[in-house]
Amino acid sequence: MSKKQKLVVIGNGMAPGRMLEHLFDISPDMYDVTIFNAEPRVNYNRLMLSPVLSGEKAYEDIITHDDAWYDDNHITLHKSAKVAQIDRVAKTVTSQNGITAAYDKLVIATGSNPFVIPLPGHDLEGVLTYRDLDDVAKMLEAAKTGGRAVVIGGGLLGLEAAAGLKMQGMDVTVLHLMPTLMERQLDVAAGYLLEKAFVDLGVDVITEANSKQIIGVNGKVSKIILDDGTEIDAAIVVMAVGIRPSLELAKSAGLETNRGVVVSDDMRTSDPDIFALGECAEHRGMCYGLVAPLYEMGKTIAAELSGQSSAYTGSVTATKLKVTGIDLYSAGDFAEGDDREEIVLRDAQAGVYKRLVLQNNIIIGAVLYGETSDGPWFFDLLKKKSNISEMRDTLIFGQAYQGGAPLDPMAAVAALPDDAEICGCNGICKSKITGAIAEKGLTTLDGVRAHTKASASCGTCTGLVEQLLALTLGDAYDPAAVQPMCGCTDLGHNDVRRLIKAKELKSIPAVLQELEWHTSCGCAKCRPALNYYLICDWPDEYADDYQSRFINERVHANIQKDGTYSVVPRMWGGMTSAKELRAIADVVDKFNIPAVKVTGGQRIDMLGISKEDLPAVWSDLGDAGFISGQAYAKGLRTVKTCVGTDWCRFGTQDSTGFGIRIEKFMWGSWTPAKVKMAVSGCPRNCSEATCKDVGIICVDSGYEIHFAGAAGLDIKPTQVLCSAKTEDETLEIIVALVQMYREQGHYLERIYKWAKRIGVEEIRRQIVDDHGKRKAYFDRFVFSQKFAQIDPWSERVSGKDKHEFNPIATLNLEAAE
Amino acid sequence: MNALTENWVTIGDISDIPVRGARCVKNGETSIAVFRTADDQIFALEDKCPHNNGPLSQGIVHDGCVTCPLHNWVIALKDGTAQGADEGQTKSYPIKLDGETILLSLTANR
Ligand code: SRM
Ligand SMILES: Cc1cc2nc3c(=O)[nH]c(=O)nc-3n(C[C@H](O)[C@H](O)[C@H](O)COP(=O)(O)OP(=O)(O)OC[C@H]3O[C@@H](n4cnc5c(N)ncnc54)[C@H](O)[C@@H]3O)c2cc1C
Ligand code: SF4
Ligand code: FES
């Protein structure tokens, strides 16, 4: 076996991550790779920090390479290891925490540092920057206590930070030095529209604002003062005023630096064994701050490292702002000039502004606001320097208007040339995507992401990629593979749940409006799901929408095939008494109930009751002390028990009493799907606890807590979550577990499916290991029970929803023929 | 009587029906479901699903349709036809509003 060469990479950001993927593609076995990362984590998608900040995504969603990827590729990753020194003579690097690694080839990819304006007070606690996950964590922490966030800088980063902090419930002020926002990417008109959009979001924007001083109290930020004397209270100050390539390390190693680490077209620094990559590199006088060029640089380095020769020749870039609800695209150069012409389209009502800047019939700049779907097409014409004189009159209306093609987005995508760029971040053209779909037999968006990287970075080209899937596969493309909640939306359950929280949506109409439902009032699939999510997330504020509930939950009984209903009262833990049985017998006689059955859930079912009779049946049952057994609910059903220490010669704990206690504590709560529990007094397990959503097996030393079982459509034995010593501790754990499921489960997803999706380890981590989290889940459950433990039967006996049970009119007319 | 001379009966007020909900009118053995949509339009269908006679009045109302509570067929409110791949039609009845008052005709549409 030939000895592998040693490749060391400093920095574990987006650029080297991509470079390594290319390298392993071309020469999988050429190098032993060691990475040093100052951040304590794996490689994640930095572009997506803003959705994490706003709550639309979680950190787990934005990981690019998980730990397994490093293992699989035999990479040594040193986390939290900032390289302090490069010794070019010995060809080693050494980190601050004392790790030394030797290299044959070295890649410096240290990215940039956020620039901090050295105002008085800039070092106070609460002055933050916006660059990595730790910054986001600090902002989220600050948002918990509320107050005002002042963001200095109205560029891309500052605005994304402002929108995110606003969505987290802070008051936000943006201070911008220039007269209009994002002046480097936008012209004045678009800057104005953007400012208006932010003001509509509830963000204060102050332009031409020159910050003078940050004032602190006890070492912590309290306000900021501007040159003109304006004072603004501030709980935090976020500086987003620009970045500086991080080059100190290269400089101290004696490499040639200027604004960045200087590289030539082969991406080598002044030392031929050392490459510089990403935001820290300066190529032909340019330092880039967007990923597309960095990925191209990465490709060149991968080729060079493999012994091929390759050249990077620079990039033109385009920008999109990733703030939900604001569509903005800009590319190229749009300053005015004598030799330049422009085409402008405005539609004030629709809030659309588009401007193209032309020079000699070639597009050199484009600004799109409000409607950006033609951005990639304009950008393509710009990059190719296409002569547009033939379509000049209709150019601004976009691609769909050209060549008499119909105004159909599919036709527009079909008409794109094969080399048209679809994914700007990753430089992926149309033919590469359609080719991969055909060759690899891809049928889903995730498949395309995995094989081509298209739509895997900032995600704004997702729509185009999906159209390509539809176009290539025809009917074989099933967009359901991306699993939207239902036909009314493109969003999946996870996104919807997160957005309900993040945007504080508190009614079904608010969800439909803000999340851009395609239908005017949802459907029978999404409405019950949304109703549940809203009840779960805002127990004290949301008003249950009965018209969005399935009939059983609306009338609190189970509909039968002939349109009659069945009624199942609670029998706590399966225990009953002569008095209860007598009351049931009386009700059955009085209302001529045709069938009485013992259910599989240890209680009694009365079947065949007409809807009109329900309130009277409940009234009589209520008089005997019964409440609804919720045999119809996506909620707690039964807690089955066995006779335990009360009677059984093997019983180790009071399984009956504990089952009753659990049922009394947890009844009434709505859950994503039904929840069934059981408590068995010993491992003989007579209450079948090991196939329940949550099951408890009593043992001599305490309680074994099981969960994620099923015995319906699927048969699944439970898994053991943990053991507990006391009833109190057990109750806290299972309540916290159910609350975690309530907050994360998809509607109609039983606990065992949710657990499979989330991972038992993660559930254990949050519920068993992290006592603080467990307590918080428990408390939230208890809080929501205040609004849930109202017996629906007695409510209806006293007149609620009367209309449900009576006809609007009773006629006795001959039907006309 | 022919279909042109409707025989209108007053059955109640629009406010008697919940928005995106339904109430029934009983006429002897027949039950007619009267629906009210989100935009306050009203429709009347026989309360029997073309699939297996499920009570449509108990379904979830969305846009111009109701989803049957028994097996989720989706039925158009305006003429009782099953949507999507399902085939069948429930009888519909002429219905109109006079101000707040709902008037129903028992002459089923053809
Ligand atoms: C009444 C009862 C049968 C009986 O006579 O014993 C029953 C009746 C129905 N079950 Fe069940 N299940 C009954 C115990 C069970 C059990 C046994 C148990 O709970 O110990 C199971 C297996 C355990 C489990 O859930 O894992 C069971 C698994 C199901 C399933 C499959 C669920 C799954 O996720 O795999 C369905 C279908 C569904 O929910 O989509 C179902 C659905 C139904 C429905 C609601 C069907 C429907 O949608 O109309 C039936 C309603 C009849 C009615 O109106 O009363 N029923 N069902 C039992 C009521 C228990 C109670 O007291 O609340
Ligand atoms: C909030 C936000 C939103 C953005 N949105 C977009 C967008 O929409 N589109 C777009 O194209 N671009 C966007 N960008 C820019 C894009 O993220 C960067 O261009 C890209 O991540 C730079 O990649 P990189 O690998 O050069 O550097 P980075 O990803 O910054 O990685 C550098 C890494 O090196 C580590 N490091 C530094 N010094 C050392 C050392 N001495 N030893 C060890 N490790 C070290 C750092 O800790 C860091 O982890 C955004 C950036 C941010 C912060
Ligand atoms: S098994 Fe359950 S769902 Fe099936 S017929 Fe019996 S009661 Fe109904
Ligand atoms: S009876 Fe309506 S769908 Fe089956």
Over residues A552-579, the pLDDT tens digits come to 999 999 999 999 999 999 999 999 999 9
Report whether A412 contacts A400 (CB < 8 A): yes
**Confidence at residue A1, expressed as pLDDT on a 0 to 100 scale:** 47
Closest in B1, B30, B63 to A816, CB measured: B1
Euclidean distance between CA atoms A173 and A610, whole angstroms: 60
Euclidean distance between CA atoms A480 and A498, whole angstroms: 20
Report whether A130 contacts A161 (CB < 8 A): yes
Report whether A665 contacts A731 (CB < 8 A): yes
Report whether A777 contacts A733 (CB < 8 A): no
> Strand A702-707 and strand B21-27: pairing?
unpaired
Chain A's closest residue to B106, CA to CA, is A815
Give the pLDDT of chain B (110 residues) as one tens digit per residue.
444 556 899 999 999 999 999 999 999 889 999 999 988 999 999 999 999 999 999 999 998 999 999 988 999 999 999 998 789 999 999 999 999 999 999 888 86
> Between A102 and A319, where is the model more confident?
A102
Return left, alpha or beta for A147; rule: phi > 0 is left, psi -120 to 50 is alpha, else beta: left
For A659-693, write each residue's pLDDT tens digit.
999 999 999 999 999 999 999 999 999 999 999 99
- Whether A606 is in the pocket of ligand 1, judged by its Cβ within 6 Å, is no
Give A752-801 as a 3 state SS string.
HHHHHHHCHHHHHHHHHHCHHHHHHHHHHHHHHHHHHCCCHHHHHHCCCC
- Would you state the structure tokens that stand for residue B78, as one six-digit string? 């305006």
Centre of ligand 1 from the C-alpha of residue A648, in Å: 28
- Whether A676 is in the pocket of ligand 1, judged by its Cβ within 6 Å, is yes
Indicate the pLDDT class of residue A479, thresholds 50, 70 and 90. Answer: low
Q: Please name every residue paired with A367 in a beta bridge, in sequence order, or none if there are none.
A: A330, A355
The predicted complex's ipTM stands at 0.67
DSSP-derived letter for residue A226 is E
Report whether A552 contacts A558 (CB < 8 A): yes
> For ligand 2, what atom is nearest to the CA of residue A84?
41
Euclidean distance between CA atoms A82 and A98, whole angstroms: 10
CA distance A538 to chain B (A): 23
Is residue A805 less than 8 Å (CB to CB) from chain B?
no
CA A322 to chain centre: 14
Q: Which of A512-516, A594-598, A648-652, B97-101 has the lowest mean pLDDT?
A: A512-516
Report whether A568 contacts A627 (CB < 8 A): no
Chain B residues with at least one Cβ partner in A under 8 Å: 1, 7, 9, 11-12, 16-21, 23-28, 30-31, 34, 37-39, 52-55, 58-63, 67, 69-70, 72, 74, 105-108
Q: Please name every residue paired with A595 in a beta bridge, in sequence order, or none if there are none.
A: A607
Q: Say which ligand is closest to the CA of A244.
A: 2
Beta-carbon contacts of A268 under 8 Å, excluding residues fewer than 6 positions away, are A274, A275, A304
Report whether A415 contacts A457 (CB < 8 A): no
H or E element: which one contains A678? strand A675-680
Domains of chain B, first to last: 8-105 (2.102.10.10)
Q: Which chain A residues have a beta carbon less than 8 Å from that of B72?
A: 524
> Are A809 and B25 in contact (CB < 8 Å)?
yes
Beta-carbon neighbour count of residue A406 at 10 Å?
A: 9
Residue nearest to atom 4 of ligand 4 (CA): B71
Euclidean distance between CA atoms A696 and A729, whole angstroms: 12
- What angle, 0 to 180 degrees and rounded to 10, lies between the N-to-C axes of helices A430-440 and A462-473? 50
Q: Please name every residue paired with A225 in a beta bridge, in sequence order, or none if there are none.
A: A213, A231
Q: Is A770 exposed, middle or buried (0-12, 13-18, 19+ CB in 10 A)?
A: middle
Q: Which chain B residues have a beta carbon less than 8 Å from that of A551?
A: 58-59, 69
Euclidean distance between CA atoms A92 and A94, whole angstroms: 7
- Whether B14 is in the pocket of ligand 4, judged by its Cβ within 6 Å, is no
Q: Say which ligand is closest to the CA of A607.
A: 1
Which of A488, A512, A547, A559 is the best substitution to test chain B (most B C-beta atoms within 10 A)?
A: A547
DSSP-derived letter for residue A268 is B
Closest in B12, B37, B63 to A808, CB measured: B12
Beta-carbon neighbour count of residue A193 at 10 Å?
A: 21
Closest in B24, B60, B72 to A527, CB measured: B60
Q: Which residue has the tokens 């020194």?
A: A85
Phi/psi at B73 (nearest 5 deg)?
-65, 150
For A128-163, write each residue's pLDDT tens digit.
999 999 999 999 999 999 899 999 999 989 999 999
DSSP-derived letter for residue A3 is P
- Would you state the structure tokens that stand for residue A402, as one six-digit string? 């050209």
Residue nearest to atom 52 of ligand 1 (CA): A558
For A486-544, write each residue's pLDDT tens digit.
888 888 898 899 889 888 899 998 898 888 888 878 899 999 999 999 999 999 999 89
Average pLDDT, chain A: 90
Euclidean distance between CA atoms A710 and A696, whole angstroms: 14
Beta-carbon neighbour count of residue A218 at 10 Å?
A: 7
- Would you state the structure tokens that stand for residue A392, as one six-digit string? 């000049």
Q: Which residue has the tokens 């189970």?
A: A558
> Are B26 and A809 in contact (CB < 8 Å)?
yes
Euclidean distance between CA atoms B37 and B35, whole angstroms: 7
Centre of ligand 4 from the C-alpha of residue A750, in Å: 25
**Confidence at residue A640, expressed as pLDDT on a 0 to 100 scale:** 98
Beta-carbon neighbour count of residue A58 at 10 Å?
A: 12
Euclidean distance between CA atoms A757 and A739, whole angstroms: 16
| Sign, CA torsion A66/A68/A73/A77 | positive
**Helices then strands, each counted (H, E), chain B:** 0, 10
